[in-house]
Amino acid sequence: MEKWMGGDMHPSYRILMGPGPSNVHYRVYQAMSNPVIGYLDPQILACMDEISEMLRGVFQTKNQVTLALSATGSAGMETAYVNFVEPGDVVVIGVNGFFADRMTQVASRSGAKVIRVEEEWGKIIEPEKMIKALKEHPEAKICGMVHGETSTGVRQPLDEIGAYCKGKDMLLVVDAVTTLGGYEVKVDEWGIDVCYSSSQKCLGVPPGLSPITVSSKAMEVLRSRKIPVQSFYLDLILLEKYWGTERVYHHTAPASMFYALREGLKIIFEEGLEERFRRHRTLGDRLKMEMEGLGFKLFAQEGYRLPMLTSVILPDGMDDVKLRSKLLNEYNIEVGGGLGFLKGKVWRVGLMGETCKLRYIHCLMGALGDILT
């Protein structure tokens, strides 16, 4: 045991320009240093109410069931399927990247019969193609889409698909892990029934929470299940009783993370949603231009590129691992490598939340300029 008790841990400060986490505002760290209190303390309950109200603003929804799961974004995905899928239910999922593929795996493990609507990585799934598949499977209970595909940097248009699902018994489930807080996510207007995200990207909070919002239509489907939700921890009926007016104990809430999310959301509304979206758009365009100037090629489909996550193809002869290691170890800058078959070929460069600043673009360009020359 003694060899593990040698001294304190002091991680290096990094400029986090990968696919998440992003850098964290000092006010969020300060908020986390507040005393831990009990999960039914009136002050923590008031904090939860404020979180719910601000999350409704970011999700652009009036959904009563809007809360933060005490787990990371992957738990948001699990929650979206484990609550609404019963064995044998048909689920149609658009698959054009790593996390869309993960969605199919989660749905399948929840007991769904999954219909995959495939598209090449780096491209959107054309709304007409998705709607055609939904028409071919009118029995489908869920249509699943990823709004911002973290593996490719593609932004999926959702309004037409949402308009189709609105008048049907079908639920539209959307992954907004990368986009929430950095791009419009119009839950009510687009007809989204279940939308989940994560704390550590454009919301600018450490990893550990997964914001989720659920429509009344989806809650009716949940309440009419024939068998109980197989996950106790992620059961939205139980979570609703804890986050809602009943205040029934469900689990020990991570008080420090709630403080962090509350502060991160306050910072977002002080800036203003429109101003924040504009900042991500403007600096995302700037980063793309600068990367192209160094010989990188943009990977994602033109017209549908995420502002907060830029995917680029490496120039010929460039060693992915060596260059990213040099950036990390000598310049304290993290960028993300490719996933799946894009490993070694593509970088994913993030400008999320607190990291979305011109000075960090300058830092990255300066470091790459030094290394490449």
Per-residue pLDDT of the chain (373 residues; tens, 9 = 90+): 556 666 788 899 999 999 999 999 999 999 999 999 999 999 999 999 999 999 999 999 999 999 999 999 999 999 999 999 999 999 999 999 999 999 999 999 999 999 999 999 999 999 999 999 999 999 999 999 999 999 999 999 999 999 999 989 999 999 999 999 999 999 999 999 999 999 999 999 999 999 999 999 999 999 999 999 999 999 999 999 999 999 999 999 999 999 999 999 999 999 999 999 999 999 999 999 999 999 999 999 999 999 999 999 999 999 999 999 999 999 999 999 999 999 999 999 999 999 999 999 999 999 999 998 8
DSSP 183: B
Closest-CA residue to 146 (of 89, 215, 198, 111): 198
HSE, side-chain direction, 13 A CA sphere, residue 346: 21
One-letter identity of residue 13: Y
Beta bridge partners of 347: 312, 337
What the block records as the tokens of 170 is 């079908």
- What Cα–Cα distance (Å) separates residue 198 from each residue in 32, 211, 259, 286, 350? 17, 6, 15, 25, 15
What the block records as the tokens of 99 is 């996390």
**Report field, pTM of the whole predicted structure over 0.95:** yes
Q: Measure the CA–CA gap between 256 and 31, rounded to whole angstroms.
A: 8
Q: Measure the CA–CA gap between 235 and 255, rounded to whole angstroms.
A: 20
Domains and CATH numbers, the chain: 15-21+272-372 (3.90.1150.10), 26-268 (3.40.640.10)
Contact partners, residue 211, CB within 8 Å, separation at least 6? 55, 58, 59, 66, 67, 68, 69, 76, 180, 196, 197, 198, 199, 203, 261
pLDDT at 2: 57
pLDDT at 373: 83
Please, is 270 exposed, middle or buried when counting C-beta atoms within 10 Å of its C-beta (0-12, 13-18, 19+)?
exposed
What the block records as the tokens of 32 is 């986390």
Q: Are 334 and 327 in contact (CB under 8 A)?
A: yes
Where would I find the H helices in the chain? 26-32, 42-59, 73-82, 98-109, 127-136, 159-166, 187-190, 216-223, 236-243, 255-271, 273-293, 320-331, 358-372
